[in-house]
Amino acid sequence: MSEPINSSVSNGAAVATSESFSIATSTGKPAATGTSMPESVRSLAETLATQNREIYERTRESMEDAIDVLETTFDKAGQGTAALNKKVMDIAQTNINSGFDLAKELASVRSLTEYLEIQSTFMRSQFEQLSAQAGEVRELAMEVADQTSAPAKEHLTRTFDAARDAS
């Protein structure tokens, strides 16, 4: 069994010290403690540590950007949902008021013909109103979808542009 490698921490990366680095011999047994590490191995280890540190930093920055995008997206989605809910509640209130107005009008009718005329007029106007309201909700939903997806689109565009430029 080989002895553990002692390490010292320098700028967040563990670097093996040459005094305790063991080199395996051709028999598979560790060489004596205190064998010095060849300069090429030391250089390779330092290069790899530097590359790993750079990769870590880029990954950390990418993750922070992605989290910011998600937070912005969820914020926009929440705002959009609130706007849609308000619109639907306003439409419901308008339709309820229209129904009460119809009921008041129908309460004062004097003949079946007048009742049918009021009812027919209300149904026509209500159908037109519902069509317009559906259009308003559709437009608002599309606007919310655009605003909600905008941060993710921008992030992806920046990421792909950066990857293309790096190639």
What average pLDDT does range 63-86 have in this prediction? 93
Residue 24 lies in a domain: no
Element (H, E) at 8: strand 7-10
The answer as to whether 89 is a domain residue is yes
Residue whose entry in the numeric block shows the structure tokens 């010292």? 8
Question: How many domains does the chain contain in total?
Answer: 1
Domain that holds residue 73: 62-166
In a domain, 147, yes or no: yes
* Structure confidence at residue 75 (pLDDT): 94
Residue 83 lies in a domain: yes
Average pLDDT in the chain: 83
Each residue of 94-133: pLDDT tens digit? 999 999 999 999 999 999 999 999 999 999 999 999 999 9
DSSP 167: -
Closest Cα to residue 149, out of 77, 54, 41?
77
The phi and psi torsions of 20 (rounded to 5 degrees) equal -110, 5
66 belongs to a structural domain:
yes
- Residue pair 84/137 in contact (Cβ under 8 Å)? The answer is yes
**Residue 54 located in a structural domain:** no
Distance CA 44, CA 38 (A): 10
Q: What is the reported pLDDT for 21?
A: 44
Q: List pLDDT tens digits, range 34-56.
A: 567 788 888 999 999 999 999 99
User: Residue 15 domain-assigned?
Assistant: no
Range with the largest mean pLDDT of 50-59, 81-90, 154-163: 81-90
Predicted local confidence at residue 163, as pLDDT: 82
- pLDDT value at 14 more than 60: no
CB contact burial 6-38 (16+ within 10 A = b; e otherwise): eeeeeeebeebeeeebbeeeeeeeeeeeeeebe
Calculated CA dihedral for residues 24, 5, 42, 53, nearest 10 degrees: 130
Handedness of CA 157, 160, 161, 162 (dihedral sign): positive
Residue 125 placed within a domain: yes
* pTM tops 0.85: no
**pLDDT of amino acid 30:** 53
Q: Which of 2-6, 35-39, 83-87, 137-141 has the lowest mean pLDDT?
A: 2-6
Hey, what are 103's tokens? 């009921």
